[in-house]
């Protein structure tokens, strides 16, 4: 129990296969082509969902799961960006995802909270192969116009993402006059884990409905803040590189308090030793959170 209470971070790296999707829009390369975001590596391009989009998806799921979110507010400066209510004691998203309100100097300067939740982009492990979906918009035909022909970049592949939660900063620090009750801290982290388990983004879902919830997870409760599985979850021909995972656990034995692997049957041809189902793995993570904040 003392080891659980000494934890500084919780990290989860997850895999999700996407069969047909256009997950995150980019700037148009041409007037009639809707592009997806991609990063270049060598001679290939790999689609990704930006960290900003993943954070938005998590925030939206917090609302779906019954949590009241901090509503947007107009900036107090003439040219400042809109911000939230900046009240982390009351709103879970202000606590976990942070905020910044650049006020005028006479009003006290910048009011900010650095996010306690760190998120990587959701990046594909399979390169983009140039696939396009052809579409035609007939809405203007009845008014005497011509059909509007357009194309959308689409992709099929396995995507990998990572989240790291600074457990010692949840419910405390910037924006708090006093720390939250430990039970509320635990509740906030557990509902965030439920949002990860049920991850879904609303962008481009009207015609390209996609499931991006995890089908494999590698989770660890840590004495340090280090996303140890971020680059170490690798897949080749649907086979998970279990040797790399085992070596990671061995290398960070002194930093890891506990770890768990979970996967959905049928998506991969093998599994690390001791793997559980996705639901069981998230239940284990919830038990870590309860033990840490008890």
Parallel/antiparallel/unpaired status of strands 99-102 and 9-21: unpaired
Q: Are 58 and 119 in contact (CB under 8 A)?
A: yes
| Parallel, antiparallel or unpaired: strands 132-137 and 148-153 | antiparallel
Closest CA to 36 of 28, 25, 44, 46: 25
pLDDT band at 74 (very low <50, low <70, confident <90, very high): low
Please tell me whether residue 191 adopts helix, strand or coil conformation: helix
The arithmetic mean of pLDDT across residues 153-167, rounded, is 95
Residue 7: partners with Cβ closer than 8 Å, 6 or more residues away:
167, 221, 222, 223, 257, 288, 292
In the predicted model, what is the mean pLDDT of residues 261-265? 97
Pick the closest to residue 55 from 177, 209, 199, 240 (CA basis): 199
Kindly report the average pLDDT of the chain as a whole number: 90
Angstrom distance (rounded) from CA 275 to CA 163:
20
- The conformation of residue 139, written as its DSSP 8-state character, comes to T
Based on the structure, what is the number of domains in the chain?
A: 1
Backbone angles phi, psi at 137, to 5 degrees: -100, 115
Query: The tokens of 144 are what?
Result: 């005497």
What domain range is 38 assigned to? 2-293
The pLDDT-based confidence of 140 (bands split at 50, 70, 90) is low
Whether 72 shows a pLDDT value over 70: the answer reads no
Cβ within 8 Å of residue 267, ≥6 positions away: 17, 215, 216, 238
Q: What value does the mean pLDDT take over residues 47-75?
A: 89
User: Torsion-angle region of residue 205: left (phi > 0), alpha (psi -120 to 50) or beta?
Assistant: alpha
**Quick one: 174 exposed, middle or buried, by C-beta within 10 A (0-12, 13-18, 19+)?**
middle
Which band of pLDDT confidence, cut at 50, 70 and 90, is reported for residue 105? very low
């Amino acid at each position: 129990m003392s080891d659980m209470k000494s934890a500084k971070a919780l990290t989860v790296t997850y895999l999700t296969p996407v069969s047909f999707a256009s997950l995150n829009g980019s700037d148009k390369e041409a007037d009639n082509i809707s592009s997806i975001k991609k990063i270049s590596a060598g001679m290939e391009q790999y689609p990704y969902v930006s960290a900003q989009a993943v954070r938005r998806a998590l925030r939206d799921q917090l609302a779906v799961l019954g949590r009241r979110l901090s509503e947007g507010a107009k900036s107090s400066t003439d040219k400042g960006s809109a911000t939230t209510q900046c009240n982390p004691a009351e709103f879970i998203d202000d606590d976990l995802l942070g905020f910044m309100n650049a006020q005028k100097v006479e009003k006290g300067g910048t009011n900010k909270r650095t996010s306690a939740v760190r998120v990587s982009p959701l990046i594909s492990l399979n390169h983009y192969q140039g696939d396009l979906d052809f579409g035609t918009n007939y809405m203007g035909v009845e008014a005497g116009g011509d059909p509007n022909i357009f194309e959308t970049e689409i992709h099929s592949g396995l995507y990998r993402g990572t989240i790291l939660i600074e457990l010692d900063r949840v419910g405390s620090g910037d924006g708090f006059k006093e720390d939250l009750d430990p039970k509320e801290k635990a509740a906030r982290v557990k509902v965030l884990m439920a949002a990860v388990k049920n991850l879904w983004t609303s962008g481009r879902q009207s015609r390209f409905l996609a499931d991006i919830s995890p089908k494999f997870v590698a989770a660890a409760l840590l004495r340090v803040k280090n996303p140890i599985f971020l680059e170490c979850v690798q897949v080749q021909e649907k086979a998970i590189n279990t040797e790399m995972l085992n070596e990671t656990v061995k290398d960070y034995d002194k930093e890891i308090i506990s770890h768990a692997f979970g996967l959905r049957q049928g998506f991969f041809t093998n599994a690390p030793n001791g793997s559980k189902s996705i639901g069981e793995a998230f239940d284990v993570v919830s038990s870590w959170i309860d033990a840490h904040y008890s």
